[in-house]
Every structure is written in structure tokens, then in C-alpha cells.
Amino acid sequence: MKSFGIASIAAAALSGALFVTSVTADLPPIVIKGSHFFFENGTEFFIRGVAYQQDVNSNGTTSTTGTFTDPLADSAGCARDIPLLQELGTNTIRVYAINASLDHSACMQMLQDAGIYLLQDLSNPSSSINRNDPTWTTDLFADYAAVVDAMANYTNVLGFFAGNEVSNDVANTNASAFVKAAVRDMKSYIKTKDYRTIGVGYATNDNADIRIDLADYFNCGDAADAIDFWGYNIYSWCGDSSYTVSGYAQRTAEFANFSVPAFFAEYGCNTVQPRVFTEVQAIYGENMTGVWSGGIVYMYFQETNDFGLVTVSGDTVTKLPDFTALSKQLALATPSSTNSADYVVTNTVAQACPATGADWSAASVLPPIANADVCSCMVSSLSCTAATDLSANATATLFSYVCGLDKSACEGITTNSNTGVYGAYSMCNSYQQLSFAMDQYYKNQNKVSTACDFSGQAKIQSGSTSSSCSSLLSQAGSAGTGVVTTVPTGTAVSGSSGTSTKTSAAGAVIVPRFDTGLLQLGAYLFAAGIAGAGMILL
Ligand SMILES: *[C@@H]1O[C@H](CO)[C@@H](O)[C@H](O)[C@H]1NC(C)=O
Ligand SMILES: *[C@@H]1O[C@H](CO)[C@@H](O)[C@H](O)[C@H]1NC(C)=O
Ligand SMILES: *[C@@H]1O[C@H](CO)[C@@H](O)[C@H](O)[C@H]1NC(C)=O
Ligand SMILES: *[C@@H]1O[C@H](CO)[C@@H](O)[C@H](O)[C@H]1NC(C)=O
Ligand SMILES: *[C@@H]1O[C@H](CO)[C@@H](O)[C@H](O)[C@H]1NC(C)=O
Ligand SMILES: *[C@@H]1O[C@H](CO)[C@@H](O)[C@H](O)[C@H]1NC(C)=O
Ligand SMILES: *[C@@H]1O[C@H](CO)[C@@H](O)[C@H](O)[C@H]1NC(C)=O
Ligand SMILES: *[C@@H]1O[C@H](CO)[C@@H](O)[C@H](O)[C@H]1NC(C)=O
């Protein structure tokens, strides 16, 4: 923490202590210039990273339990492991999921003291963008923002990942639209909160069909919407491979003109055991350092997937042969670096957005900014709202029913990332979305009272619009088909990572966020004709 050293001195002075033995400074922040990372003093920074988390992989699958262990809230674990990370020559760890409500100060200080930076993923197993049913919502925004809030003050935070391997083959490339919306909104949130400039990036898998389109998509268009760095999870160097056989040469050529830093966000193929890590000399050698900023070895802990550098049992850590091999290779790696002042940025042009087609289905137009103010303003303005005590299943059924009766009632809440057409309220929670659809239906029925009933599952209210809401609502348009460009105020965010219910503006408990998936599944089943005949399809 920023004030730790000063506070220690002050405390020592106040208590009359004569000697201050160990006051350590916080690490200097890492800054981005062009496609490289630098210390503030101008020396280039290469990531010598290790993935550090047990039993979690925020790769876009939603875990059934949603539980995970936050390694940065485990100070005993940090005290046990950080000396070993130092011994390896690690200057960065990647952590896939933290619980924003826990205290991370002890581990973060130990990392500062050890000269180790952090790359932190923003999602967690109970709060992430689902590749099979992608959304970017105000609930996810609040959870991701809570992670930013928890970490932004630490100067050794190198950056955030807004997603990991979410789109991982041609069938789910449309999920990338929502992940890029998360990148955009978290970058904007960091600015709104006046935090230090901290980059937001994405970590991709290495699928030959989509790797180029993915990198182009996240880099293209307005820089404010694009990634600040690109992480590549790459497992193509197995055993004592070579620069060309591994595909590294080809990947390096592909990224030669990328306009932001790129690095390996995971590496360390384990199909040949024990691992010899000869790729380390390539990654930090002259073929690659002009293009790549180092990499992160997957991973510290030995688990059933057999990627560990050590086995851990309680307080005891045992080094595996991979630890020794990696440590030797990293010690031999002496990348020659560019000094920031001498570095003339030549990669100034972003890649072109990929065209939609057989292998790529995400349009360059992104989903709406997940601005919770827009949703609460909308609900206040309605004449008909959903009952606040509906079960997730009842909500899903009603959603299909209303949209089936009146397709136009749902334009403001539907999403299509292939066409890039998004309802302005499609980022709201399910209670808010259902209320909007019911209200549209009610209005389309000229407000006959029977049109706001749905067997007692909706109710009439006298809607009102405060002056602070009028601009937001007019941007959204009466049918919700407009585009709201106003960013959230920042102070309105009420992140509560890990809780499964949210409270609406009116104070009512509403359905869990993961029911948004259920809703859309309902709509999908309905559209596929499974819900029965006689209704107008979505
Ligand atoms: C810049 O700072 C880093 C980190 O403190 C240090 O390793 C490096 O030697 C410094 N470079 C110069 C030129 O002082
Ligand atoms: C994603 O992570 C989960 C949990 O570790 C794992 O079971 C699953 O196989 C992973 N999926 C992919 C596509 O990597
Ligand atoms: C970050 O620092 C600011 C200013 O010192 C302080 O108000 C805020 O509480 C800190 N946040 C956290 C999460 O420590
Ligand atoms: C650098 O590239 C050359 C040419 O492909 C190759 O022969 C050499 O082994 C590479 N160096 C490393 C360290 O991989
Ligand atoms: C980068 O290089 C590739 C070919 O390697 C080319 O297709 C692409 O247009 C270039 N992009 C920019 C922004 O120069
Ligand atoms: C809700 O719907 C799901 C999927 O159709 C079903 O498995 C589940 O039993 C339902 N739950 C309740 C409480 O009706
Ligand atoms: C994404 O693509 C899948 C598969 O084609 C489709 O079912 C889904 O509706 C699409 N989602 C969006 C938001 O466009
Ligand atoms: C986060 O920590 C809080 C406090 O210990 C706990 O109630 C909550 O369940 C945790 N969330 C997750 C997702 O583990």
C-alpha cells in the first residue's frame, strides 16, 4: 500500500524508536509506451511471470459451486510461496480470481517487498462472461469494478484481464463482443475513479482458426474501447522444441506490428515431462523481445492437470524438477532492452476489425455501456413493472411469453452480436429487463389494465422521470433502441462480489445474475419452437 512505509516511519517516530529497520518502498508502477512495458525510469520491463492460484481457471466456464480460494487473501500462503517465487526469478504473478471483499494488504505488501507485480483477472467462477450465453451486464460491471477498487491503489498492479479464453473456437466468437465491452467499461471506470493509469487487457487461447481475428478484434477501432495489452495462452513449445517448430516464429511475425504490448499470458506445454523450459531462451532472446514482453509460466501449484512447479501440503512446499529447470532457464535469460526515451513508436496503427463471416461472428459495434443508472432510471419511469418476488423460472417463462406476444416490446432488451444491434437495456438485470418488456407491451396495448397483469405477476405504477434521468432515457429512446453514451458516475457502483442476489433501486430483492442465462435459454428454446405453437417467435 502506498502509505505503508511512511506510516511505519511515523509510528516508529511517535513511539520514540531509534532505529527503523525495514521500511521498504512500494514498487514503481509499470507504464505502457507503444508496444512495450517500462519502469518509470525508462528501463524496459519484461514479464517473468508465474500463474499463482489453486483450483481455478476463469476460462469462461461457470463453475457449479462458484467457490474458489483467493490466494491474495491468504497471508500464510503468500509468506510460504513468495520466497520461492523470488528464487525462481519471478517478477510478476497472474491471479485468476480474487474475492474483492477480502483483505489483500498483507500479500500485496509481501509482493511489493519481493519486487513482484500482479496481473489480476477481473472475473471469478461465480461472476464471468459465459461463452455459451454471453452477456455484459450491470451486475458483472459491479463485480469487476469491485476487483479494480480492491487493487487499484497498489502500485505493483501491472494490469487487469477482462477475460480469459472466453471465445475459444469458431462457435462462440460472438462472446468477444461482450468481453470487449467489459474492456471498454473497465478502462472508462478506472478513468472515472481517477485511479492511476492501469491497463486492461485480455488473455486468449491459441486456436488456429480464430487467433488472428481475435487479436485484431480486441485491438481494432477506437483506442478507448480496445485492449491495452494482449495476453496469449500458448502451449505450442513442447519439450526441447525450436523457434520454428513451435510456431513461435510465425506468431512473432503475426504480432510484429501490433500497437500494444503482447506477451504470453500462459506458457509451458507439459506433454513432454519433465519440462525443460528451453522456450525461455527464445521468449527472452533477440528473436522475440522486439515484439513480446515476456511471459507467464503455467503454473505454481501442482494439481491433477500436472502443470505444477511445486507441490504444497499445508506449510510445506516441495520443489518439482520443473521448478529447478525453469529457475535455471530464467537465470540465463538476459533480454536486451530498449530504453523508453530512445524508443520511437512505429506501431501506431490499430489492426482492422475482422469482417463477420464463417469464422468470425462478432460485429465491431459493441454492446451497450453497462450503466446501472440507465436501468434504475428506466424502471422508475415505467407504468408497468414485473412483480419483485418472481422466481428465476417464472421470470424466464414470462420473458418468453411477453416477447412471444409482442416482439417489438423486446427490442430494447435483445442482443445480436452478429449484427451489432443491441437493446439499450440489454445490460440491465433480469427484473429490470422483464419490467421494460411488460411496460412496452402495456403501452402497445394502449394501457388497458388487463395488459399489465400477467396473472398477478405485474403491477401498474405511476412512472416518474427525475431531471438526472431525462438525458439517459432520451438517449435510450422510448423503445430502448437508442444508444446511451453516458458512462456510469463511478460512485453509483455497489460491487458485492460473490453475493447471488441484488437489490433493485426500489429495495426489492431480485433474481440472481446467472438467471440472465436462464432467461436467454428460455427465449432460445422458445424461438426454436420448443415452447409450443401459436405464438409469435422472437
Ligand atoms: C529502473 O528501475 C528498475 C526497478 O527499480 C531497476 O531495476 C532499474 O535498474 C532502473 N534503471 C535504471 C537505469 O536506473
Ligand atoms: C475450463 O476450466 C475448467 C475448470 O478448471 C475445466 O474443467 C475446463 O476443462 C476448462 N475448459 C477449457 C475449454 O479450457
Ligand atoms: C485507496 O486510496 C484512497 C486514497 O488514499 C483511499 O481513499 C481508498 O480508501 C483506498 N482504497 C483502498 C481499497 O484501499
Ligand atoms: C532465432 O531465430 C533463428 C532463425 O529462425 C533460430 O535459428 C534461432 O534458434 C532462434 N533463437 C532462439 C533462441 O530460439
Ligand atoms: C500488420 O501486418 C499484417 C501482415 O503481417 C498486415 O496484414 C496488417 O495489415 C498490418 N497491420 C497494420 C496495422 O499495419
Ligand atoms: C426451473 O427450470 C429448470 C429448467 O427447466 C428446472 O430444471 C428446474 O427444476 C426449475 N425449478 C423450479 C423451482 O421450478
Ligand atoms: C451467439 O451465437 C450463438 C451461436 O450461434 C447464438 O445462439 C447466440 O444467440 C449468439 N448470441 C448473441 C448475443 O448474439
Ligand atoms: C467472498 O468473501 C465473503 C466474505 O468472506 C463471502 O461471504 C463470499 O461468499 C465470498 N465470495 C465468493 C465468491 O467466494
pLDDT digits (tens, 9 = 90+) for 167-216: 999 999 999 999 999 999 999 999 999 999 999 999 999 999 999 999 99
What is the mean pLDDT of the segment spanning 24-46? 95
Residue 524 scores a pLDDT above 50: no
Amino acid in position 158: L
**Atom 9 of ligand 3, residue of closest alpha carbon:** 153
C-alpha 54/C-alpha 73 separation (Å) is 13
Residue 538 scores a pLDDT above 80: no
DSSP secondary structure code for residue 26 in this structure: P
CA of 142 to the centre of ligand 8 (A): 15
C-alpha 315/C-alpha 400 separation (Å) is 53
Q: Assign domain 10-342 to its CATH architecture.
A: Alpha-Beta Barrel (3.20)
Atom of ligand 2 nearest to the CA of 60: 1
What is the mean pLDDT of the segment spanning 80-103? 97
CA of 300 to the centre of ligand 1 (A): 27
Residue 469 scores a pLDDT above 80: yes
Q: How confident is the model at residue 17 (pLDDT cuts 50, 70, 90)?
A: very low
Beta strands 415-416 and 230-234, pairing class = unpaired
Alpha carbon 281 to its chain centroid, in Å, reads 30
pLDDT of residue 66: 67
Q: At what angle do helices 138-151 and 175-192 cross, to 10 degrees?
A: 50
pLDDT of residue 491: 60
Q: Which residues pair with 30 in a beta bridge?
A: 39
DSSP secondary structure code for residue 49 in this structure: E
Among this protein's residues, is 165 annotated catalytic?
yes
Higher pLDDT, 123 or 496: 123
pLDDT of residue 526: 31
Lowest mean pLDDT among 47-56, 113-122, 282-291, 322-331: 47-56
Quote the percentage of the chain above a pLDDT of 90: 82
pLDDT of residue 207: 96
Q: Which residues pair with 231 in a beta bridge?
A: 203, 263
CA of 60 to the centre of ligand 2 (A): 8
The overall pTM is greater than 0.75: yes
Q: Which residues belong to CATH 3.20.20.80 in the chain?
A: 10-342
Residue 436 scores a pLDDT above 60: yes
C-alpha 308/C-alpha 274 separation (Å) is 11
Among this protein's residues, is 279 annotated catalytic?
no
Q: Which residues line ligand 2 (CB under 6 A)?
A: 57, 59, 61, 168
pLDDT of residue 24: 62
Q: How confident is the model at residue 510 (pLDDT cuts 50, 70, 90)?
A: very low
pLDDT of residue 489: 87
> Which are the contacts of 449, defined by CB distance < 8 A and separation ≥ 6?
460
69 lines ligand 4 (CB under 6 A): no
Indicate the top mutation candidate among 267, 287, 289 to test ligand 4's pocket, ranked by most ligand atoms within 8 A of CB: 287
CA of 161 to the centre of ligand 3 (A): 21
Kindly name the residue from 44, 165, 279, 411 that is annotated as catalytic.
Answer: 165
Q: Give per-residue pLDDT as tens, 127-167.
A: 999 999 999 999 999 999 999 999 999 999 999 999 999 99
